[in-house]
A and B are shown apart, each in its own frame.
Chain A
Amino acid sequence: MTIKLKEVDVVIVGLGWTGGILAKELTEAGLKVVALERGALRSSESDYSLPNIRDELRYVVRHDLMQNTARDTITVRNNPTQEALPMRRLGSFLPGEVVGGSGVHWSGHTWRWTDMEFNIRSNYETRYGKKFIPDDMTIQDWGISYAELEPYYDKFEYTAAVSGKAGNINGQIQAGGNPFEASRAREYPLPPLTPILASEMFSVAARNAGYHPFPRPSANASQPYTNPDGSKYGGCQYCGYCQRFGCEANAKGSPHMTVIPIAMRNPNFELRTHSWVTKVLKDSDGKRVTGVAYTNLLNGDEFEQPASMVLLCAYAINNVHLMLLSGIGQPYDPVAQKGVIGKNYCYQTGAGATLFFEGKFFNPFMSAGGSNATIDDFNINWAFDRAPHDFVGAYNVSGGFNTALPIGYRPLPSGTPQWGSEWKRATAKWYQTAMTIGASGSVMANRYNCYDLDPTYRNAFGQPLMRMTFDYKANEHKMGRHAAQVINDIAKSMNPTKLNPATARTDPWTVVPYQSTHNTGGTIMGTNPRDSALNKYLQSWDCHNLFVVGANVFPHNASYNPTGPVGALAYWTADAIKNRYVKSPQPLVPA
């Protein structure tokens, strides 16, 4: 029997960065907010402190902070001719399942995506002509501008304690920063992290090659910091346990030690953990949502939580899944190219080289989440001409490493035996001597890369699993080859003793090994309801009291990590709700 609860102003589904930001902002605006989170409440003091947090087996191998695939997972295939099969173990990406979400276990890389992404189709058509964009590449403009988002990027960077060096303040190029970045109003809240030897060596080589290296901006506090909300950060200790772990020093910008505790102190807020939302409920004419249905995972009790407004703030894949399960918006059909829910699923690509220097000691166990140096010469540098290379998109190249864990980190020259005494000898010999240079590349939307509901497999609640259809296309292969060439040229210039060169990723995509937790698209934002699910305020075109927040709103995926725009858009949406929507609940953009 379903228990119907008392109506609240807002129900938030998922309490990570986006849910946390919206919970804080909307409770402060006087709204009654209930947040429903699948995972448990965990805290720095009881869960992420020393020595227990440095447990690679628990957190990396056994995915202690991640989604439990025995309860719900996705099915996967490369193209529509294949039968999709369930991903029974996490691999390529790692959705968080805990209060704080993936914001607990991220590395902290925080970038500003710019008009190069937001106007992508217009930019390429204007410069290269319409024919340059392949017919099956369904990229489109986002309907938002960098100028609109700039104050919200700033707000997120100051909340999350981003350490970095500005490259462009109010149009003035700054020495030591990224000269290609879009103009920002002020410096980062904190100076860059201390560079490690590997990033310094990469920077020298990149500069000698004529490129423009700069320290990667990261939400790893380079020194103790109190953010504008009063949340206190310790200084990063370069312990190397960043990605996959909660921070032992409260130095990594995370929602569980910033926005969420502030919301929890507010009497307008209520958090219900272990709460699994199965459906967003609609009224009889389908124009508004009325709340959500959820199950208490601890005892199986089922509830209906009515609300004047529903905000989907779960992991990107799960937001899209809930839209499909709830029948909101028209599901996307890749054959007819009609419908919008599930459209433009994108991922990222890359290439990487490992360099070995006999006699060097990189001390790989000492690093921060963002202790790399990066070049954007082939990324947001629009002067880089794509025409001779015939691809749309971009990649950044970084040198260094941000995590090198005792069990998993075993850099070995290619040709080393995979086991036995020779493997042991080589492991001991090369462990200290290796560094990496890697590229992270964009993935352009393609009509056949999409989500829908699986016809066969179901989750623990009897609901169809989400089906992901994805593969890299010729565009990404071409970009990968270009990136591998650039990486190998830089690597060779550094004269390593041995080099495992970079190669382009051209095999079909698979769910193993880990690649990146940067799944985007599926409920994309845009300028009209024919080709997008949400307007620029992340408000559903179909139900105006439903907002869907997260990387699922990106119409394509850039080379940069997604959390910068995810955080900025959460603040942007919070302002739109507080300042406009609550005063006049209606579509914020006419359809």
Chain B
Amino acid sequence: MSGLPRSIAAFGLALLSIYPARADGDAARGEARFQDCAACHKLQADANNVGPSLHEIFGRKAGAIVDFRYSPAMKRSGITWTPETLDRFLIDPQAMVPSNRMPYAGMANGGDRADLIAYLQKASK
């Protein structure tokens, strides 16, 4: 049984790679989408909350903030956060990183994700 979630995840990744992240996100609209994240994530450096700080998230390896308690799944995921990997993650976080601890079901709409990522690219600097 333990192999089953991984194979589903792998299948999911293969499927999703057909739909690359859109580059036309609107950061202003994305600020409103960030409401989905804001109860747990802050954008300031060293401001860990229920979730880790998103300051300078792009280019960072998943699970890399030293004093945040990540799930083992996130630490060994090997992901480097880019607009593309974040887009894939946010479709269904449990599909891409099974057993991660983020209590969030995902953002289904690709336009919404593009807006959110455009906002994060500005606001996480």
Structural contact, B48 and A250, CB atoms closer than 8 A? no
Partner of A226, one of B35, B40, B48, B50: B35
Structural contact, A249 and B103, CB atoms closer than 8 A? yes
| Smallest CB separation, B83 vs chain A (Å) | 22
Structural contact, B49 and A234, CB atoms closer than 8 A? no
The verdict on A297 contacting chain B, using a C-beta distance below 8 Å, is no
Structural contact, A224 and B103, CB atoms closer than 8 A? no
The verdict on B1 contacting chain A, using a C-beta distance below 8 Å, is no
The verdict on B39 contacting chain A, using a C-beta distance below 8 Å, is yes
- Residues on A with C-beta less than 8 A from B36 are 224, 234-235
B35 to A, closest residue via Cβ: A224
Structural contact, B39 and A234, CB atoms closer than 8 A? yes
The verdict on A214 contacting chain B, using a C-beta distance below 8 Å, is no
Structural contact, A249 and B35, CB atoms closer than 8 A? no
Interface residue count on the A side (C-beta < 8 Å)? 19
CB within 8 Å for A45 and B39 given contacts A51-B101, A234-B103, A237-B103: no
- Residues on A with C-beta less than 8 A from B49 are 44-45
The verdict on B104 contacting chain A, using a C-beta distance below 8 Å, is yes
Chain B interface size range: 10 to 19
Q: In terms of DSSP, what is the predominant structure of the interface of chain A?
A: loop
Given contacts A49-B69, A224-B37, A234-B104, 10 further A-B contacts (CB under 8 A): A225-B35, A232-B39, A235-B36, A237-B103, A239-B103, A248-B50, A249-B39, A249-B50, A250-B39, A250-B50
- Residues on B with C-beta less than 8 A from A226 are 35, 38
| Smallest CB separation, A543 vs chain B (Å) | 41
The verdict on B105 contacting chain A, using a C-beta distance below 8 Å, is yes
Partner of B50, one of A49, A225, A237: A49
Residues of B bordering A, CB below 8 Å: 35-40, 48-50, 69, 71, 101, 103-105
Structural contact, B35 and A44, CB atoms closer than 8 A? no
A203-235 CB mask vs B (1 if < 8 Å, else 0) is 000000000000000000000111000001111
| Smallest CB separation, B101 vs chain A (Å) | 4
In Å, the complex CA distance between A44 and B48 comes to 11
A10-45 CB mask vs B (1 if < 8 Å, else 0) is 000000000000000000000000000000000011
Structural contact, A237 and B104, CB atoms closer than 8 A? yes
The verdict on A50 contacting chain B, using a C-beta distance below 8 Å, is yes
Number of A-B contacts (CB under 8 A): 50
- Residues on B with C-beta less than 8 A from A44 are 40, 49-50
Residues of A bordering B, CB below 8 Å: 44-45, 48-51, 224-226, 232-235, 237, 239, 248-251
In Å, the complex CA distance between A51 and B72 comes to 11
Structural contact, A232 and B101, CB atoms closer than 8 A? no
Partner of A237, one of B35, B37, B105: B105
In Å, the complex CA distance between A235 and B103 comes to 9
In Å, the complex CA distance between A235 and B101 comes to 15
- Residues on B with C-beta less than 8 A from A233 are 39
| Smallest CB separation, A363 vs chain B (Å) | 15
Q: Identify 12 residue pairs between A and B in the complex whose beta-carbon atoms are under 8 Å apart, listed by A's number.
A: A45-B49, A48-B50, A50-B71, A50-B101, A51-B71, A224-B35, A233-B39, A234-B103, A249-B39, A249-B104, A250-B40, A251-B39
- Residues on A with C-beta less than 8 A from B38 are 224, 226, 232
- Residues on A with C-beta less than 8 A from B50 are 44-45, 48-49, 248-250
| Smallest CB separation, A220 vs chain B (Å) | 13
- Residues on B with C-beta less than 8 A from A249 are 39-40, 50, 103-104
- Residues on A with C-beta less than 8 A from B35 are 224-226, 232
